[in-house]
């Protein structure tokens, strides 16, 4: 094994080798796209082991289960059996492990339940009902988002209230307080709690912090540009005594501020660790020279970045294709026609190609075109496996068997399949249990206790149904102590009547739903050899923490991938089509008033471009129908950053409705100098009825001008005639 590691390191370039061989103290690896960062991380871990560091003293954390799985697979090839003793996973799984072991020190039960998105929203709605907040006036999801943002910044309800800048934050802090109470009552933690409570534990207990500092002598963090405050604090606390923190990332690929990622973590890393060793991985192994040059020119105008000059030894390859279509339907047709040509004439296959876009609404035209042409496709971000009803129902049963005090799961399945326990009965059960100050599960046991003399609010029929339900639950809990997990799933499906219900169903997807149950049962066989009581926590935790990209599993089926720019990060394809390269889409209309957001939109375009290995197509429409409205569109400002010598007119134009255009029209977007346009894209304006907004486009109309404006709030995008709109330019437009 030592010889294998030595041989493999000889294939590293000088910068990669320097990073692998850096041992002590903080290390910042600035890793450009396609520069082999995963190879560096895994080889550095193997090298640490080679020089005498025990695998159990090494931890590596990343952001998706997919990335963690790839890392573990590579480490197994490098280290063999030793790789099983190191910790490689996501921040959330790493934190969950710490809290399961030591969370009781801050009042977290060992059998806590991780609440998924639906559970969290349900609790928010309950909290709003308790605090008498009208959900029609304040959207529950907006409140949940604000709470999530606060937790990622380590702000509790009181701190949020103290920092409140308006009435909405005051409302959120009230809901936040009740939300946390309900989480505690359900023995639950949400995703943000996994991180923030771990920070709390490590900061408040010297003994526990010291234990993990001793255990993990070397910590590596991948995708460091995507960390939030909580994740950075966990990293700092774990490495505070030895400072052996190695972070890998690229500020040019920071695109998740809306998930509370903080780019300043990587930009300011050297300030926090003055002795940091900085190593640049600048050689790109993925893209052709022309694609890489296009990407470099797109990202260069950004200010918030660590300057590093990427290069590649790959051939220059094809020039970048830029074209426009009249409508989004023609745009989709043009892309698919070119996909077909690439397959028929150049030997590519469907899985070599991806079409990516800024917002989910753009997939409609693509999906319709795929169906029309008979092209199989995979829409990443559709209904995910673990979000399907039958899977969530089964997991709710299993969660209830793990923790009978989980009120969210109880509410979900108490009448699934239907057993005549309606909402009114459940509400009466909850109300009665709260009056008695006991959990609903305990209340159900009292109802089933024949010797109980308590006055109950249920009629005979209700009491009979509730008794049958708790008897069923008790039987399944007993089986959890005897059966393996796959057998327990069979018992749940059979004894609850769920399987029978699907077998007798007339619904067209009933067989697919049964197949999904079979699929998750297959996953449960990984835990064979353990009784369900022992394996349930890990199984449920894995299911809850599955990420969006985990749906992209390798299989033999050929399909065209349709995916958003945010979801494509971390992936690569021989052929990339980026559609909707227009002002208002990328950069998005909501970003135009914020320089920081414009920089993030530029990074998003850069991420999309750098996914391409050999072919890159950038498409736009002259007019686009979005959200039921057709509007004129102009090319994205990011297209202007690509030098003319890197661009060619696409061949797709000859075989589709999409048409080639003069490249200078896309890149320079000249205007007729004789026409004095009243507004230009990016102008800040105000309207008497619609309020403030940003001009997206200004086009000539007979005797008038049509102004397309993205207004703030719920107003959205409006097309207005200049002579009637009476738009007023903001004074901020004149500030230079």
706 and 569, same structural domain? no
Mean pLDDT is highest, among 107-121, 489-503, 607-621, for: 607-621
Per the structure, the complete domain to which residue 10 belongs is given by 2-103+195-283
Tell me the residue ranges of DSSP E strands in 264-376. Answer: 277-281, 320-325, 353-357
The structure tokens 């060992």 sit at 110
Total domains in the chain come to 5
Strand, helix or coil for residue 454? coil
* 193, 223, 237, 252: the active-site residue: 223
Strand, helix or coil for residue 576? strand
Q: What are phi and psi of 409, to 5 degrees?
A: -65, -40
Residue 712 DSSP label: T
Dist CA 74 CA 62 (whole Å): 14
Q: Which helix (H) or strand (E) holds 113?
A: strand 113-114
Q: Which of 242, 263, 283 is the last residue of a domain?
A: 283
Neighbouring residues of 270: CB distance < 8 A, sequence distance ≥ 6: 28, 276, 278
Dist CA 507 CA 522 (whole Å): 24
Looking only at the bridges linking them, the beta strands covering 87-90 and 113-114 are unpaired
The answer to whether residue 673 sits within a structural domain is no
Residues linked to residue 714 through DSSP beta bridges, in sequence order: none
Closest Cα to residue 112, out of 179, 230, 201, 191?
191
Over 60: is that where the pLDDT of 666 sits?
no
pLDDT at 174: 94
* 192, 200, 222, 583: the active-site residue: 222
Dist CA 666 CA 668 (whole Å): 6
Peptide bond into 587 cis (omega under 30): yes
> Which CATH number do you get for residue 346?
3.40.50.300
Indicate if 222 belongs to the active site. Answer: yes
397 and 504, same structural domain? yes
The answer to whether residue 226 sits within a structural domain is yes
pLDDT at 524: 81
233 and 175, same structural domain? no
Instruction: Express each pLDDT in 204-244 by its tens digit.
Output: 999 999 999 999 999 999 999 999 999 999 999 999 999 99
Query: Cα 218 vs. chain centroid, distance in angstroms?
Result: 27
Q: Using alpha carbons only, what angle is made at residue 93 by residues 91 and 96, rounded to the nearest 5 degrees? A: 105
The answer to whether residue 676 sits within a structural domain is no
Instruction: Express each pLDDT in 256-286 by its tens digit.
Output: 998 889 999 999 999 999 999 999 999 999 9
Share above pLDDT 90 across residues of the chain, in percent, rounded to a whole number: 56
Task: Centre a 10 Å sphere on the Cβ of residue 112 and count the other Cβ atoms it contains.
Answer: 26
Residue 475 DSSP label: H
296 and 164, same structural domain? no
**Contact yes or no for 655/646 (Cβ under 8 A):** no
> Which CATH number do you get for residue 152?
1.10.10.160
Alpha carbon separation from 115 to 255, 423, 433, 441, 724 (Å, rounded): 25, 22, 22, 18, 51
390 and 375, same structural domain? no
> Which CATH number do you get for residue 497?
1.10.486.10
Strand, helix or coil for residue 433? helix
Residue 386 DSSP label: G
320 and 278, same structural domain? no
The structure tokens 């559970």 sit at 119
Q: Using alpha carbons only, what angle is made at residue 451 by residues 445 and 453, rounded to the nearest 5 degrees? A: 90
Task: Centre a 10 Å sphere on the Cβ of residue 468 and count the other Cβ atoms it contains.
Answer: 14
Dist CA 561 CA 540 (whole Å): 29
The answer to whether residue 350 sits within a structural domain is yes
Strand, helix or coil for residue 224? helix
pLDDT at 67: 85
Token pair for 51: 């020089």
Alpha carbon separation from 469 to 54, 402, 472, 482 (Å, rounded): 50, 17, 5, 21
Strand, helix or coil for residue 14? helix
Instruction: Express each pLDDT in 303-359 by its tens digit.
Output: 999 988 999 999 999 999 999 898 888 999 999 999 999 999 999 999 999 999 998
- pLDDT, average across residues 692-715: 74
Over 50: is that where the pLDDT of 672 sits?
no
Token pair for 252: 């040019």
Closest Cα to residue 605, out of 335, 252, 225?
252
Question: DSSP string of 147-213?
Answer: HHHHHHTT--HHHHHHT--SHHHHHHHHHHHHHHHHHHHTTEE-HHHHHHHHHHHHHH-HHHHHHHH
Token pair for 433: 């249990």
* 16, 37, 192, 544: the active-site residue: 37
The answer to whether residue 642 sits within a structural domain is yes
Q: Which of 667, 692, 726 is the last residue of a domain?
A: 667
89 and 221, same structural domain? yes
The answer to whether residue 399 sits within a structural domain is yes
Looking only at the bridges linking them, the beta strands covering 573-578 and 612-621 are parallel
The answer to whether residue 202 sits within a structural domain is yes
Alpha carbon separation from 712 to 167, 172, 690, 696 (Å, rounded): 19, 21, 8, 13
* 209, 603, 611, 615: the active-site residue: 611
Dist CA 264 CA 602 (whole Å): 17
448 and 392, same structural domain? yes
Dist CA 353 CA 343 (whole Å): 10
Instruction: Express each pLDDT in 289-307 by its tens digit.
Output: 999 999 999 999 999 999 8
**Contact yes or no for 719/629 (Cβ under 8 A):** yes
The structure tokens 């405050």 sit at 229
299: left (phi over 0), alpha (psi -120 to 50) or beta: alpha
pLDDT at 220: 96
* 9, 21, 38, 340: the active-site residue: 38
Instruction: Express each pLDDT in 6-54 by its tens digit.
Output: 455 668 999 999 999 999 999 999 999 999 999 999 999 999 999 999 9
pLDDT at 652: 40
- pLDDT, average across residues 250-257: 94
Token pair for 564: 């958003």
Instruction: Express each pLDDT in 131-172 by its tens digit.
Output: 999 888 888 888 999 999 999 999 999 998 888 778 888 999
310 and 277, same structural domain? no
Average of per-residue pLDDT values in the chain: 86
Looking only at the bridges linking them, the beta strands covering 684-687 and 691-701 are antiparallel
Q: Using alpha carbons only, what angle is made at residue 566 by residues 560 and 570, rounded to the nearest 5 degrees? A: 75
Indicate if 487 belongs to the active site. Answer: no
Dist CA 578 CA 298 (whole Å): 14
Neighbouring residues of 562: CB distance < 8 A, sequence distance ≥ 6: 354, 355, 356, 357, 363, 366, 367, 370, 377, 378, 379, 380
Over 50: is that where the pLDDT of 654 sits?
no
Share above pLDDT 70 across residues of the chain, in percent, rounded to a whole number: 88
Over 90: is that where the pLDDT of 194 sits?
yes
Indicate if 253 belongs to the active site. Answer: yes
Indicate if 38 belongs to the active site. Answer: yes
**CA dihedral for 130, 403, 103, 550, sign (positive or negative):** negative
The structure tokens 């030592």 sit at 2
657 and 607, same structural domain? yes
pLDDT at 382: 59
Q: Which of 138, 162, 185 is the last residue of a domain?
A: 185
End-to-end CA distance of the chain: 62
Residue 64 DSSP label: -
The answer to whether residue 190 sits within a structural domain is no
Task: Centre a 10 Å sphere on the Cβ of residue 672 and count the other Cβ atoms it contains.
Answer: 8
Indicate if 611 belongs to the active site. Answer: yes
68 and 6, same structural domain? yes
Alpha carbon separation from 59 to 26, 75, 82, 220, 275 (Å, rounded): 15, 12, 13, 6, 21
122 and 93, same structural domain? no
Dist CA 552 CA 562 (whole Å): 11
Token pair for 638: 């990011």
Q: Which helix (H) or strand (E) holds 577?
A: strand 573-578
Q: Using alpha carbons only, what angle is made at residue 52 by residues 47 and 53, rounded to the nearest 5 degrees? A: 75
**Contact yes or no for 186/430 (Cβ under 8 A):** no
């Amino acid at each position: 094994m030592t010889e294998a590691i030595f041989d493999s390191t000889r294939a590293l370039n000088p910068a990669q080798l320097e990073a692998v061989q850096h041992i002590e103290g903080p290390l910042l690896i600035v890793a450009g796209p396609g520069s082999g960062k995963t190879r560096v991380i895994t080889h550095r871990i193997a090298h640490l082991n080679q020089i005498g560091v025990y695998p159990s003293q090494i931890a590596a954390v990343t952001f998706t289960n997919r990335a963690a799985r790839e890392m573990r697979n590579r480490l197994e090839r490098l280290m063999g059996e030793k790789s099983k003793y190191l910790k490689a996973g996501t921040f959330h799984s790493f934190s969950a492990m710490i809290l399961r072991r030591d969370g009781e020190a801050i009042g977290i039960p060992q059998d806590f339940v991780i609440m998924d998105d639906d559970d969290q929203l349900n609790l928010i709605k309950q909290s709003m009902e308790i605090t008498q907040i009208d959900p029609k006036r304040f959207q529950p999801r907006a409140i949940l988002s604000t709470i999530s943002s606060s937790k990622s910044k380590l702000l509790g309800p009181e701190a949020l209230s103290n920092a409140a800048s308006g009435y909405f934050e005051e409302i959120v802090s009230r809901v936040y307080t009740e939300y946390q109470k309900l989480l505690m009552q359900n023995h639950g933690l949400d995703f943000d709690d996994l991180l923030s409570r771990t920070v709390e534990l490590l900061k408040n207990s010297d003994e526990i912090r010291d234990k993990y500092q001793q255990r993990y002598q070397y910590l590596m963090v991948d995708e460091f540009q995507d960390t939030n405050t909580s994740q950075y604090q966990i990293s700092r606390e774990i490495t505070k005594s030895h400072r052996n923190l190695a972070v890998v990332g690229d500020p040019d690929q920071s695109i998740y501020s809306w998930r509370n990622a903080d780019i300043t973590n990587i930009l300011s890393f050297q300030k926090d660790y003055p002795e940091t060793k900085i190593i640049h991985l600048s050689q790109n192994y993925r893209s052709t020279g022309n694609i890489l040059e296009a990407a470099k020119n797109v990202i260069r105008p950004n200010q918030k970045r660590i300057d590093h000059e990427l290069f590649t030894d790959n051939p220059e390859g094809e020039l970048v294709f830029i074209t426009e279509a009249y409508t989004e339907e023609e745009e989709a047709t043009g892309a698919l026609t070119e996909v077909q040509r690439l397959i028929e004439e150049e030997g590519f296959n469907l899985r070599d190609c991806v079409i990516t876009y800024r917002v989910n609404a753009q997939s409609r035209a693509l999906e319709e075109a795929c169906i029309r042409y008979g092209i199989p496709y995979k829409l990443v971000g559709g209904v995910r496996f673990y979000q399907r009803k039958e899977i969530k129902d089964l997991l709710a049963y299993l969660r209830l068997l793990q923790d009978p005090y989980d009120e969210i799961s109880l509410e979900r399945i108490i009448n699934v399949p239907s057993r005549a326990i309606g909402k009114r009965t459940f509400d009466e059960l909850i109300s009665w249990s709260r009056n008695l100050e006991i959990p609903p599960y305990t209340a159900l046991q009292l109802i089933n206790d024949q010797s109980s003399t308590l006055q109950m609010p249920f009629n005979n029929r209700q009491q009979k149904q509730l008794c049958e339900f708790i008897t069923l639950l008790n039987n399944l809990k007993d089986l959890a102590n005897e059966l393996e997990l796959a057998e327990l799933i069979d018992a749940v499906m059979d004894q609850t009547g769920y399987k029978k219900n699907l077998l007798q169903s007339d619904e067209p997807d009933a067989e697919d739903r049964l197949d999904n149950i079979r699929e998750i049962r297959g996953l449960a066989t990984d835990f064979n050899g353990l009784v369900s009581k022992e394996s349930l926590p890990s199984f449920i935790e894995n299911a809850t923490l599955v990420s969006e990209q985990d749906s992209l599993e390798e299989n033999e089926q050929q399909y065209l991938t349709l995916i958003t720019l945010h979801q494509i990060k971390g992936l690569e394809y021989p052929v990339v089509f980026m559609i909707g390269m227009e002002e208002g889409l990328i950069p998005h209309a909501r970003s135009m008033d914020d320089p920081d957001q414009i920089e993030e939109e530029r990074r998003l375009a850069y991420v999309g471009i750098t996914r391409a290995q050999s072919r890159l197509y950038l498409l736009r429409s002259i007019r686009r129908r979005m959200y039921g409205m057709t509007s004129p569109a102009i090319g994205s400002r990011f297209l202007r950053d690509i030098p003319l010598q890197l661009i060619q007119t696409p061949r797709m134009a000859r075989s589709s409705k999409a048409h080639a255009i003069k490249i200078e029209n896309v890149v320079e977007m000249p205007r007729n100098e004789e026409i004095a346009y009243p507004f230009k894209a990016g102008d800040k304006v105000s309207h008497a009825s619609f309020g403030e907004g940003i001009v997206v486009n200004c086009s000539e109309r007979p005797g008038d001008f049509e102004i397309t404006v993205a207004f703030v709030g719920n107003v959205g995008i409006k097309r207005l005639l200049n002579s009637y709109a009476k738009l007023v330019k903001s004074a901020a437009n004149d500030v230079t």
